[in-house]
Protein backbone atom coordinates (compact mmCIF):
# COMPACT_ATOMS: atom_id res chain seq x y z
CA UNK A 1 0.00 0.00 0.00
CA UNK A 2 1.44 3.38 -0.98
CA UNK A 3 0.12 6.55 0.62
CA UNK A 4 0.89 10.11 -0.44
CA UNK A 5 0.80 13.15 1.73
CA UNK A 6 -1.63 15.70 0.35
CA UNK A 7 0.34 18.78 1.27
CA UNK A 8 3.97 19.88 1.18
CA UNK A 9 4.86 21.28 4.62
CA UNK A 10 8.61 21.15 3.92
CA UNK A 11 8.83 24.22 1.67
CA UNK A 12 12.11 25.64 2.84
CA UNK A 13 15.06 24.59 5.01
CA UNK A 14 14.29 24.47 8.69
CA UNK A 15 16.57 26.32 11.08
CA UNK A 16 17.10 24.64 14.43
CA UNK A 17 16.42 27.16 17.18
CA UNK A 18 17.90 27.08 20.63
CA UNK A 19 20.79 28.30 22.72
CA UNK A 20 21.95 27.58 26.22
CA UNK A 21 22.77 30.60 28.39
CA UNK A 22 23.29 30.73 32.14
CA UNK A 23 20.06 31.78 33.81
CA UNK A 24 17.75 31.24 30.81
CA UNK A 25 14.18 30.14 31.28
CA UNK A 26 13.11 26.59 30.49
CA UNK A 27 11.59 27.78 27.19
CA UNK A 28 14.08 29.19 24.67
CA UNK A 29 13.95 29.97 20.97
CA UNK A 30 17.22 31.35 19.65
CA UNK A 31 18.60 30.67 16.18
CA UNK A 32 21.75 28.69 15.65
CA UNK A 33 23.30 27.95 12.26
CA UNK A 34 22.25 24.29 12.04
CA UNK A 35 19.68 22.90 9.66
CA UNK A 36 17.23 20.27 10.92
CA UNK A 37 15.41 19.11 7.77
CA UNK A 38 16.56 20.11 4.30
CA UNK A 39 14.67 19.68 1.05
CA UNK A 40 12.21 17.01 2.12
CA UNK A 41 9.86 15.90 -0.67
CA UNK A 42 6.50 15.46 1.05
CA UNK A 43 4.90 14.44 -2.26
CA UNK A 44 6.96 11.26 -2.35
CA UNK A 45 5.24 7.96 -1.58
CA UNK A 46 5.09 6.86 2.06
CA UNK A 47 6.40 3.34 2.61
CA UNK A 48 5.73 1.47 5.82
CA UNK A 49 6.47 -1.81 7.54
CA UNK A 50 5.28 -3.32 10.79
CA UNK A 51 4.61 -6.61 12.53
CA UNK A 52 0.88 -5.91 12.33
CA UNK A 53 -1.40 -3.51 10.46
CA UNK A 54 -4.97 -2.72 11.53
CA UNK A 55 -7.09 -0.73 9.08
CA UNK A 56 -10.03 1.06 10.69
CA UNK A 57 -12.01 2.58 7.80
CA UNK A 58 -14.78 3.89 10.08
CA UNK A 59 -12.25 6.02 11.97
CA UNK A 60 -10.02 6.70 8.92
CA UNK A 61 -7.00 5.28 10.74
CA UNK A 62 -4.23 2.81 10.01
CA UNK A 63 -2.51 1.41 13.10
CA UNK A 64 0.95 -0.07 12.64
CA UNK A 65 2.48 -1.98 15.55
CA UNK A 66 5.45 -4.22 16.18
CA UNK A 67 8.57 -2.21 15.32
CA UNK A 68 6.61 0.09 13.00
CA UNK A 69 8.46 2.16 10.41
CA UNK A 70 7.25 4.91 8.09
CA UNK A 71 9.61 6.29 5.42
CA UNK A 72 9.23 9.14 2.99
CA UNK A 73 12.03 10.62 0.89
CA UNK A 74 14.73 9.92 3.47
CA UNK A 75 12.63 10.90 6.51
CA UNK A 76 12.15 7.86 8.75
CA UNK A 77 9.91 7.52 11.81
CA UNK A 78 10.28 4.37 13.93
CA UNK A 79 8.21 3.48 16.99
CA UNK A 80 6.57 0.58 18.77
CA UNK A 81 3.25 1.86 17.40
CA UNK A 82 2.39 4.33 14.62
CA UNK A 83 -1.08 5.58 13.79
CA UNK A 84 -1.80 7.31 10.49
CA UNK A 85 -4.94 9.47 10.30
CA UNK A 86 -6.22 10.01 6.78
CA UNK A 87 -9.10 11.29 4.72
CA UNK A 88 -10.56 8.87 2.24
CA UNK A 89 -11.80 10.58 -0.92
CA UNK A 90 -10.68 9.89 -4.46
CA UNK A 91 -7.35 8.88 -2.88
CA UNK A 92 -6.01 8.40 0.62
CA UNK A 93 -4.56 11.63 2.01
CA UNK A 94 -2.55 11.24 5.21
CA UNK A 95 -3.11 14.16 7.61
CA UNK A 96 -1.20 13.09 10.71
CA UNK A 97 1.12 10.48 12.17
CA UNK A 98 1.13 9.67 15.90
CA UNK A 99 4.06 7.62 17.18
CA UNK A 100 4.47 6.11 20.67
CA UNK A 101 7.04 3.88 22.30
CA UNK A 102 10.73 4.44 21.67
CA UNK A 103 10.24 7.01 18.91
CA UNK A 104 13.22 7.64 16.62
CA UNK A 105 13.07 10.14 13.75
CA UNK A 106 15.95 10.39 11.28
CA UNK A 107 16.66 12.52 8.23
CA UNK A 108 20.18 12.88 6.84
CA UNK A 109 22.41 13.58 9.89
CA UNK A 110 19.46 14.47 12.18
CA UNK A 111 18.47 11.99 14.89
CA UNK A 112 15.60 12.80 17.26
CA UNK A 113 14.32 10.44 19.97
CA UNK A 114 11.40 10.75 22.38
CA UNK A 115 8.68 8.83 24.18
CA UNK A 116 6.03 10.05 21.71
CA UNK A 117 5.77 12.21 18.58
CA UNK A 118 3.09 13.80 16.44
CA UNK A 119 3.65 14.82 12.85
CA UNK A 120 0.67 17.03 11.95
CA UNK A 121 0.92 17.36 8.18
CA UNK A 122 -1.95 19.87 7.93
CA UNK A 123 -0.43 22.24 10.52
CA UNK A 124 3.16 21.56 9.34
CA UNK A 125 4.30 20.72 12.89
CA UNK A 126 6.43 17.93 14.29
CA UNK A 127 6.13 17.63 18.07
CA UNK A 128 8.33 15.33 20.13
CA UNK A 129 7.22 14.75 23.73
CA UNK A 130 8.93 13.22 26.75
CA UNK A 131 12.61 12.47 27.20
CA UNK A 132 13.46 14.36 24.00
CA UNK A 133 16.96 14.21 22.55
CA UNK A 134 17.89 15.83 19.26
CA UNK A 135 21.30 15.58 17.66
CA UNK A 136 22.69 16.79 14.38
CA UNK A 137 26.36 16.38 13.76
CA UNK A 138 28.04 17.21 17.06
CA UNK A 139 25.22 19.51 18.27
CA UNK A 140 22.94 18.09 20.99
CA UNK A 141 19.67 19.30 22.57
CA UNK A 142 17.66 17.72 25.40
CA UNK A 143 14.33 18.70 26.87
CA UNK A 144 10.81 17.65 27.70
CA UNK A 145 9.26 18.81 24.43
CA UNK A 146 10.42 20.02 21.03
CA UNK A 147 8.05 21.58 18.48
CA UNK A 148 9.34 22.02 14.95
CA UNK A 149 7.22 24.57 13.05
CA UNK A 150 7.95 23.89 9.41
CA UNK A 151 6.11 26.99 8.15
CA UNK A 152 7.89 29.46 10.44
CA UNK A 153 11.30 27.72 10.28
CA UNK A 154 11.34 27.78 14.07
CA UNK A 155 12.01 25.11 16.67
CA UNK A 156 10.97 25.59 20.28
CA UNK A 157 12.55 23.46 22.98
CA UNK A 158 10.90 23.28 26.39
CA UNK A 159 12.34 21.84 29.57
CA UNK A 160 10.17 20.14 32.08
CA UNK A 161 9.06 16.61 32.64
CA UNK A 162 6.62 16.22 29.73
CA UNK A 163 6.30 12.45 29.69
CA UNK A 164 9.75 11.89 31.12
CA UNK A 165 8.67 10.57 34.50
CA UNK A 166 9.78 7.58 36.51
CA UNK A 167 10.78 4.61 34.42
CA UNK A 168 11.09 6.62 31.21
CA UNK A 169 14.87 6.69 31.31
CA UNK A 170 14.94 10.47 31.33
CA UNK A 171 17.79 12.29 32.95
CA UNK A 172 17.06 14.81 35.67
CA UNK A 173 17.70 18.22 34.15
CA UNK A 174 15.60 20.11 36.73
CA UNK A 175 13.09 21.18 34.09
CA UNK A 176 15.75 22.91 32.02
CA UNK A 177 16.70 22.66 28.39
CA UNK A 178 20.24 21.37 28.06
CA UNK A 179 22.53 20.94 25.13
CA UNK A 180 25.88 21.34 23.50
CA UNK A 181 26.64 23.40 20.40
CA UNK A 182 29.99 23.08 18.72
CA UNK A 183 31.71 26.17 17.41
CA UNK A 184 34.45 26.37 14.80
CA UNK A 185 37.97 26.81 16.10
CA UNK A 186 39.04 30.41 15.60
CA UNK A 187 42.56 31.66 15.10
CA UNK A 188 43.73 34.18 17.70
Residue 103 in any domain: the answer is: yes
Q: Is residue 185 part of a domain?
A: no
Q: Is 21 exposed, middle or buried (0-12, 13-18, 19+ CB in 10 A)?
A: exposed
Give how far Cα 149 sits from Cα of 29, 82, 153, Å.
Answer: 12, 21, 6
Question: Cβ contacts of residue 109 below 8 Å, gap of 6+?
Answer: 136, 137
What pLDDT shows up at residue 12? 29
Residue 141: CATH number of its domain: 2.60.450.10
pLDDT, residue 161, reads 57
Is there a domain that residue 186 lies in? no
Give 126's strand partners: 119, 148
187 lies in a domain?
no
Residue 42 lies in a domain: yes
pLDDT of residue 10: 33
CA distance 115 to 41: 26
pLDDT at 137: 86
In Å, how far from its chain's centre is CA 40? 13
- Residue 146 near residue 127 (C-beta atoms within 8 A): yes
Per-residue pLDDT at 150: 67
- Nearest partner of 130 among 116, 118, 140, judged by Cα: 116
Print the domain residue range for 45: 3-180
Position 176 scores a pLDDT of 87
| Residue 188 belongs to a domain | no
Going from the C-alpha of 90 to that of each of 6, 24, 62, 87, 145, the distances in angstroms are 12, 50, 17, 9, 36
For the chain, the domain total comes to 1
Q: Specify the pLDDT at position 65.
A: 97
Spans of the chain, pLDDT less than 50: 1-35, 162-171
Amino acid 105: pLDDT: 92
Amino acid sequence: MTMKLHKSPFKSPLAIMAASFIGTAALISVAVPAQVIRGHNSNAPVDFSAGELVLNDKADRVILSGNATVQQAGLTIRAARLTAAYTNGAKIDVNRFDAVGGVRITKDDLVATSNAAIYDVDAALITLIGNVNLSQGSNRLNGGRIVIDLNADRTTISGGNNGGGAGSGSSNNNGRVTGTFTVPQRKN
